[in-house]
Amino acid sequence: MLKKIKTLTKISNVEIIAYSLLSMILGITSFSFVILLNSMIELLLINGYIERESFYLMTFIGIIALFFTLKRVLSGGIINLSQEIYWNVRKTIINQVLKAPLRKIIENKDQVYSILTRDVGNITSGSLLLIDFVSSIVLVSCCFFYMAYISLSLFLISFTIIFITVGIYLIRNKKSHEKFNNSRNLEKSFIRLFNSILNGTKEINLNPIIGQKLSAKIGNIINNARSHDKGALIGYLNTQVMGQILFYFLITFIVFYSSSLLKVSIESSISYIIVLMYMLGPIGMIMTAVPVMNKTFISLNKLNNLMTELEIVNKNVNVEERVSKQVEFNKLEFENYCFSYGKDQFSIGPINLNINKGEVVFIYGGNGSGKTTLFNTILNIYHPNKGKVKLNDELCNLENLINVKSLFSPVFSDFYLFEEMYGIDNVDTKRAQEYLRIFEIDKNVTILNNKFSTIDLSVGQRKRLALINALLENKPIIVLDEWAADQDPIFRQKFYKKIIPYLLKNGFTILAVTHDDKYYNCADRLYKMEYGHLIEVKEIVTLN
Ligand SMILES: Nc1ncnc2c1ncn2[C@@H]1O[C@H](COP(=O)(O)OP(=O)(O)OP(=O)(O)O)[C@@H](O)[C@H]1O
């Protein structure tokens, strides 16, 4: 896990060692302060004045200067580091998501969102505490040795009390860790419900009962998460308070009984109490840092799991590879192509499909027969389990499947229209204008600097823009999933009778899922999808 964090933050071993060493030196510097203070108090108690006053004064100033210089340098470094973590982790996750196969993204959508929002924040908070945490531990450890040096008997009593407190704290820590973990595990369901609310605003607006039910469900999750978090934090608080009470008992005991019962000198008792009081701050710091660190570790674990999963699926894929090259296309043949969503789940195939340059191929079939699955498989968005594909009579292996992918420009039935045409380097404005005119939206939209002037349009109009975007990508095969379903009858007729022939004339090949049986005769070949099998319809009968 640490290795992964190192790669994400780009922090080197030298930097880690330097930060750790400087934090330790900071702890030791802080410890020297208490030693110096004690020596001066001892001198005052014994002699009534401080010998070599200027030496002590200079050392005092030196220690303070060193302490604050170190603290400033380290804190500056840790702010840099935490910002590196915050932004690099986000950037890396987004890059991995951009490369990841569609199914993996769908599976991990809520998890990715939780990590980008909650976990990255937790990790950053944890990293900000790191210096104080390490230096406090060093300081407390040094103080222990010093306390043993001042009085072994007092140290043994203190050590027993501290040992018991730490023991209770560790047991509590385990329980609190579990509670934090439970709360974190609820985050995914919270995000999922929250997304339902965002995506279903219209339905909720119309039917408030949906909103009430969602609110109740989200309320349950919130109550559960809150109770876990509260339980964890109260647990820490109780042990902290108990620890502090024991601490003050210890000081009271030393004040009242150290000289009578343990025969410890007054100077030693005072020195001992000063060290104990001095330790209170760092101990408090450690106790406050532990819950934050605990959350940080849970978040790091979630991050690590997600990154490992994405890295495994993204192996051998990089974004550069996906950038389409202009590939010559004359003929594409899918032979015995098969895909399954998993064991005992829906599957398609074996699929045999040929697409020739300049052809129009239509596919129809009942709901759930596998048309979209077929498209996702031949577009290689889903990786086929079996089968071969030949491009221009040449068998494609795994490496040049990317060439096959680059032949297609799709408009999915659940398409997403980007405001900017990210997939196109330089839009041919003349052609774009021509398309806008043909698709009858030149009055509503203009294209300037690779950007649509607006996408706030009707569903049918946005679909027209999505198709224009696909055409401007200049890929040879246009893939349409029920594209005309949202078009009015007049424009639908224009699409089949005029636009398709126009596109063919301009060198495009069309592969489309359509239920417009009235226009099946516009296709060169017609296929029917049935229970995952693709069957060619030899005689195209249309209802004109
Ligand atoms: N992610 C998935 N995991 C498992 N099964 C799935 C998944 N997506 C779809 N399916 C199943 O695959 C089958 C085919 O779905 P697909 O979307 O390909 O059908 P379709 O022919 O496009 O349907 P429609 O005409 O309704 O859009 C369905 O039975 C569906 O339950």
Segment 188-240, tens digit of pLDDT = 899 889 989 988 888 898 888 999 999 999 999 999 999 999 999 999 899 88
**Residue pLDDT, tens place only, 72-114:** 988 888 888 888 888 888 888 888 888 887 777 877 888 888 8
421, 451 Cβ separation under 8 angstroms: yes
- The answer to whether the CB of 346 is under 6 A from ligand 1 is yes
Inside any domain, residue 162 = yes
Q: How many domains does the chain have?
A: 2
Check which CATH number belongs to the domain holding 496 and give it: 3.40.50.300
Helices (H) and strands (E) in the chain, counts: 17, 12
- The answer to whether the CB of 367 is under 6 A from ligand 1 is yes
Inside any domain, residue 197 = yes
Inside any domain, residue 336 = yes
Inside any domain, residue 320 = no
**Run of H or E including 200:** none
Domain boundary among 280, 314, 348: 314
pTM listed for this prediction: 0.73
Q: How far from chain centre, in Å, is Cα 244? A: 39
202 and 231 both lie in a single domain: yes
Inside any domain, residue 73 = yes
Positions of E strands within 297-416: 331-340, 347-356, 360-365, 386-391, 394-395, 408-411
Inside any domain, residue 335 = yes
- The answer to whether the CB of 462 is under 6 A from ligand 1 is no
Check which CATH number belongs to the domain holding 109 and give it: 1.20.1560.10
77 and 154 both lie in a single domain: yes
Distance from the CA of 512 to the center of ligand 1, in angstroms? 17
Inside any domain, residue 323 = no
157 and 129 both lie in a single domain: yes
130 and 29 both lie in a single domain: yes
Average pLDDT of 310-329?
64
260 and 351 both lie in a single domain: no
Comparing C-alpha atoms, which of 268, 278, 280 is closest to residue 41?
268
335 and 310 both lie in a single domain: no
37 and 143 both lie in a single domain: yes
- The answer to whether the CB of 341 is under 6 A from ligand 1 is yes
96, 313 Cβ separation under 8 angstroms: no
Per-residue pLDDT at 454 exceeds 90: yes
The pLDDT of residue 463 is 96
Distance from the CA of 478 to the center of ligand 1, in angstroms? 21
Q: Are strands 360-365 and 447-448 parallel, antiparallel or unpaired?
A: unpaired
What's the CA gap between 421 and 206, in Å, rounded? Answer: 34
373 and 301 both lie in a single domain: no
Per-residue pLDDT at 322 exceeds 70: no
Nearest residue (by CA) to ligand 1, atom 26, is: 367
Closest atom of ligand 1 to 369 CA is 21
Average pLDDT, the chain: 88
Domain boundary among 288, 314, 340: 314
The pLDDT of residue 290 is 87
299 and 376 both lie in a single domain: no
- The answer to whether the CB of 344 is under 6 A from ligand 1 is no
Within 10 angstroms of residue 420's Cβ, the number of other Cβ atoms is: 12
Kindly indicate the confidence band of residue 516, based on its pLDDT and cuts at 50, 70 and 90.
Answer: very high
Least confident of 120-134, 456-470, 496-510: 120-134
Kindly indicate the confidence band of residue 316, based on its pLDDT and cuts at 50, 70 and 90.
Answer: low
What's the CA gap between 64 and 470, in Å, rounded? Answer: 67
- The answer to whether the CB of 410 is under 6 A from ligand 1 is no
**Run of H or E including 533:** strand 533-537
Average pLDDT of 270-274?
89
- The answer to whether the CB of 370 is under 6 A from ligand 1 is yes
Closest atom of ligand 1 to 106 CA is 1
263 and 390 both lie in a single domain: no
Report percent pLDDT > 70 for the chain: 94
Distance from the CA of 265 to the center of ligand 1, in angstroms? 84
- The answer to whether the CB of 163 is under 6 A from ligand 1 is no
Domain boundary among 246, 279, 314: 314
244 and 360 both lie in a single domain: no
The pLDDT of residue 320 is 46
208 and 136 both lie in a single domain: yes
Angle between helices 187-199 and 152-185 in degrees, nearest 10: 30
Inside any domain, residue 322 = no
Kindly indicate the confidence band of residue 319, based on its pLDDT and cuts at 50, 70 and 90.
Answer: very low
Report percent pLDDT > 90 for the chain: 43
Handedness of CA 326, 332, 336, 337 (dihedral sign): positive
Domain that holds residue 86: 2-314
